[in-house]
Structure 1
Amino acid sequence: MITNFDQLVETARSYPSQRLAVAVAQDCEVLAAVREAIEENLITARLFGDEEEIKKAAVKAGLDLNRAEIEVIHERDPVKASQMAVVAVKTGQADMLMKGLVHSAVIMKQILDKDTGLRKSKVLSHVALLEGPGPDRITFMTDGGMVINPNLQQKVEMINNAVGVARALGYQQPKVAVIAGLELVNPDMPATLDAAVLAKMGERGQIPHAIVDGPLALDVALSREAALHKGVKGEIQGDAHILLVPNLEVGNVLYKTAVAFGGVKTAGTITGASAPIILTSRADSHYAKFYSIALAQVLAWQNQRR
């Protein structure tokens, strides 16, 4: 079971390198992450975008484009470059996809295309990995980047997607905390109603390979002391592996608060597609992008072994 990002990189390093397609690759932070991943023997890279701009960004990132592991495919139009990168994954020329200097809406349109896209599951959702709280602990969180205001069925799919990521990292039956503002069902708080239904669905085996409990406040999900102090009984008492947040706004704020105030290391992936997708925020550091590549590499290799 992988419990920190050093172990994540070590695991990725032990697997065969995977082929990464970068859409609109002329982004310095993205190329710095690509450079580090190549140096760790995690990937080879196909860089789609404006060749001259890629060259400029590569200089700033310290990336040698003449390396054997790198291929640059010139295309000035961001839409076409995004489409080419997606098609490269679709046709087996690459194993995973990464967003570069392009708006998320542009590349998502290509990912969701019925003919050439990568959709596999009913719901594409974002899973973030946060290192902590405390030593040797990774917390998975969904969804702070894709599904704005999920309904109950979408939440089931999001749990399934997140459980798939956790299981790929060695968590055979992860504990899923359905987060709300308190631990009691309140008819005036819809998140608590969904949480109670999801917990019962988990209890009845409708959500496989996971232990689901909720509604739970964040402190109870992450702190045993808080759970004991509040007298909350259940399957999860501070030892949640996966946090399912009520909506995108909560997830986005939680993620950015952890980074801004806690300096937490992060990684992330879009799940529910036929291949891992790295769709990091423009504000994410190249370290977050590098760890996201390492995560995608592990997931891509696990996909190939199925």
Structure 2
Amino acid sequence: MTRYANTTYDALEIGMEASMRRLCVADDLYVFAHASGNMNPMHLPDLDGDGDGAPEAVAPSAWLAALISGVFGNCLPGPGTLYRSQSLRFVGRAHPGEELVARVRVTAKGENREVTFDVCVDGPEGRRLVEGEAVVIAPDRAVSVEAGAVPGLTVQRHVHFDRMLERAEHLDPIPTAVVAPEKADALEGALLGRDHTLISPILVGSAALIAQAATEAGLDIAGLEIIDEPDPARAAARAVALVHEGRAKAVMKGHLHTDLLLSAVMKRDGGLRTGRRLSHVFAMDVPGVDHMVFVTDAAINISPDLATKVDIVQNAIDLARALGVEEPKAGILSAVEVVNPNIPSTVDAAALSKMADRGQITGGLVDGPLAMDNAIDLQAAATKGIRSLVAGRADILVAPNLESANMIAKQLTFMAHAEAGGLVIGAMVPVILTSRADDEKARLASCAIAALHAAYGAGR
């Protein structure tokens, strides 16, 4: 842990200098906007502030000035320093991705512990951004402080989903049978996917209710194919038939019970079964986590046996690979990280790990049993003495049963502010399950996941 110590007024000498380096990142701009209340779009990474069609993402000048205060507070004079005045000229601009250097140099000492400094901030290749003079009141006694005394910050952004949406929008939209989109929220999800060129919806349900929902919500459904089938069960069966006819490459849940949709999908004769068990995977963008997190199975298999868990793990690995994870790491979760015959999930986890070693699960790394902490945190894994390529690095969290998987996904969503997109894997085509609680980004993410998964399957 870093400790910052000061230089008292009596110990300061003319010519003393100090500097600090800082990589400017997009999160800095968001934090400054919240702290200052300055919502100028010129300073927000994703907004176009001057109407030229491209985001400017200019680091605020006041933020650059704050880098100088960081040198005073941390380095010279250090802890205990207070500002008296500062006069600056802003002669350049900084942007996220640039490394900046703030420098201060003592030029004069005055009465009442006042010290004058030349100050500046330089960008890459010494490009001058800020220059000027500052006067501070230097400390009169030695003080030190640990950096860990200040709480950390996590910016609530969903950069992984942003990148995923950007990738998916370059693909051709996949024709998607949307079952019973007879309420505004269900219809909006399908039209969002259409507007972002992720899916090409075929609306299957009550034509009258679909039209009513569109009118009430002010949605434009002109030009969309609508297959009038008021009965939800028959609408689900008709959507499945569209897949067999080659007209649909995905199925999307609208305003009907999930069981009705999945019963049509899993029907032995005329359904969308393959040789693999269906399972649901949440792809989750958790603020502060540097990779996407996959949680399975939170929606279909209530108490899966070992054979079903094999398919659950394989489905999740396949989806993670479709979304760009080269070698997904699947952590098989339990309450403990050792095999205990009294905890059946630990025995299943050990079996799944060995099956992956023997090639019965392919495309990723599998290890377990792992408790939640040592599956996702390297320090927790090291503390427990776990040596594994998966422990502390898991992309995929495989829960013992539906209840625990659902709890993990909901906790990440409502307590860690994650965004979640869900997909049913293992059928002939991806099945998009959306919820009335989903916001716009979650609905878009589910469509993007389906598009990327369909493209991945077509390329194999």
Q: 1:133 to 1:287 in 2, by over 3 A?
A: closer
Q: Which residue of 1 aligns with 2:349?
A: 195
Structure 1 residue 135, shift from structure 2 partner: 4.2
Matched, 1:238 2:392: yes
Larger proportion of helix: 1
Q: Which residue of 1 aligns with 2:211?
A: 55
> 2:426, 2:263 → 1: CA distance?
15
> 1:13, 1:220 → 2: CA distance?
36
Q: 1:9 to 1:78 in 2, by over 3 A?
A: same
> 1:61, 1:188 → 2: CA distance?
54
> 2:199, 2:353 → 1: CA distance?
39
> 2:292, 2:354 → 1: CA distance?
26
Please state whether the residue corresponding to 2:415 is helix, strand or coil. Answer: helix
Aligned-partner residue type, residue 237 of structure 2? Q
Retained in 1: the 8 A contact 2:284–2:419?
A: yes
> 2:342, 2:418 → 1: CA distance?
33
- Asked which structure has the greater RCO (Cα within 8 Å, sep 6+), the reply is 1
> 1:289, 1:92 → 2: CA distance?
24
- Sequence identity (%): 38
**Aligned counterpart in structure 2 of residue 6 of structure 1, from 162, 167, 183:** 162
Q: Which residue of 2 aligns with 1:143?
A: 297
RMSD of aligned alpha carbons: 1.7
Q: Which residue of 1 aligns with 2:182?
A: 26
Aligned-partner residue type, residue 207 of structure 2? E
Matched, 1:213 2:367: yes
Matched, 1:124 2:278: yes
Which shows bigger deviation, 31-40 or 143-152? 31-40
Unaligned runs of 5+ residues in structure 2 are: 1-158
Unaligned runs of 5+ residues in structure 1 are: none
Residue by residue, what CA displacement relative to the aligned partner does 1:132-186 show, whole Å, maximum 9, x if unpaired?
3624410111100011111111111111111111111222321110000011111
**Aligned counterpart in structure 1 of residue 328 of structure 2, from 150, 174, 177:** 174
Aligned-partner residue type, residue 272 of structure 1? G
Matched, 1:259 2:449: no
> 1:204, 1:288 → 2: CA distance?
37
Which shows bigger deviation, 143-152 or 201-210? 201-210
Retained in 1: the 8 A contact 2:189–2:444?
A: yes
TM-score between the two structures when normalised by the length of structure 1: 0.94
Retained in 2: the 8 A contact 1:30–1:289?
A: no
Q: Which residue of 2 aligns with 1:79?
A: 233
Q: Which residue of 2 aligns with 1:274?
A: 428
Residue by residue, what CA displacement relative to the aligned partner does 1:170-219 show, whole Å, maximum 9, x if unpaired?
22321110000011111111111111111122223322111111100111
Asked which structure has the greater CA Rg, the reply is 2
State how many pairs are aligned: 303
